[in-house]
Amino acid sequence: MDAKDLLGLVHPALAVILVFPILGMVVNMAWQTRQRRLETSAGGKSLIPPVVNREHVKFGHYLTGSVVGLTSIALAYSIIFKGELFQKEISSIVVIVLMFVATIGSLICLYQSRRYIWRGILAAMTSAGLIILGSQEGVFWRTEQWYISHYYSGILVSILMVIALTIKPKIYEDRSNKWRKIHIILNCFALFLFCLQGVTGVRDLLDKPLSWQSPYLEQCDWTQQICPNFKFFQSR
């Protein structure tokens, strides 16, 4: 493995080591938060401690940040190595770097902001940033099979996490539980997408040749699933 191959492992490794464990904690605490609310709202007492609500939201904050970070790392890798960013003009490089700064910067400001108008604008800026970066050369979209694309569901789940962070104050303000229900529906779908990411991510990792294998595999016919007899090719 060369340095490029090793850097390609950063995104999958962080997903496994960081993001999925946080997701597990968020979901565990979400379930307890709900059980506790249903038990106490029925007038009874709950054995679940009140701290689960706060912990769910605290780890929810970590989840949003880590998912957007994870997606940004994957996009940066694809844009730099597969899109050959450093072969491009300096102005293109500067625009891409500024896009990353604006996207991450908007998310950081979203964590701090209180006014709804700003929360909406910053959430839209973070999401737009991810979509614009995702549409750059080098990113593998798999558009013809969008329903099993690691890219589309990855961007969608990142935006759903940004939305969860944005509507957080609404859940507390609203007595009718409308925003709470919206949160549950959106995030159950997000949970499904996270599971899908686990499957499509592992598939993509299996699909990816190592750098030294690429020149050989480019000579294969992928539809017929046949490769030339490599015995006859000179090694690099």
Which of 98-106, 109-117, 190-198, 226-234 is the region at the interface with ligand HEM (rule: CB under 6 A)? 190-198
Site for ligand HEM, residues 149 to 168, rule: CB under 6 A: 150-151, 154-155, 157-158, 161, 164-165, 168
Burial call 191-212: b when 16+ CB within 10 Å, e when fewer: bebbebbeebbeebeeeeeeee
**Is the CA virtual torsion 82, 83, 87, 90 positive or negative?**
negative
- Applying CB under 6 A, among 74, 99, 125, 159 the residue interacting with ligand HEM is 74
Residue 84 has φ and ψ, to the nearest 5°, of 45, 55
Q: Is 72 in the site for ligand HEM (CB under 6 A)?
A: no
Q: Looking at beta carbons only, is 23 or 125 nearer to ligand HEM?
A: 23
- The answer to whether residue 136 forms part of the interface with ligand HEM (CB under 6 A) is no
Measured in whole angstroms, the distance separating CA 130 from the mean position of its chain's CA atoms is 10
Considering only residues 207-236, where is the footprint of ligand HEM by CB under 6 A? Answer: 208
Binding of ligand HEM at residue 12 (CB under 6 A)? yes
Rule CB under 6 A: say whether 61 interacts with ligand HEM.
yes
CB-wise, 102 or 202, nearer to ligand HEM?
Answer: 202
Helix axes 150-166, 51-77, angle to 10 degrees: 140
When the beta carbons of 125 and 190 are compared against ligand HEM, the nearer one is 190
Q: Per the structure block, which two tokens stand in for 59?
A: 């780890």
Give dist(CA 140, CA 149) in Å, integer: 9
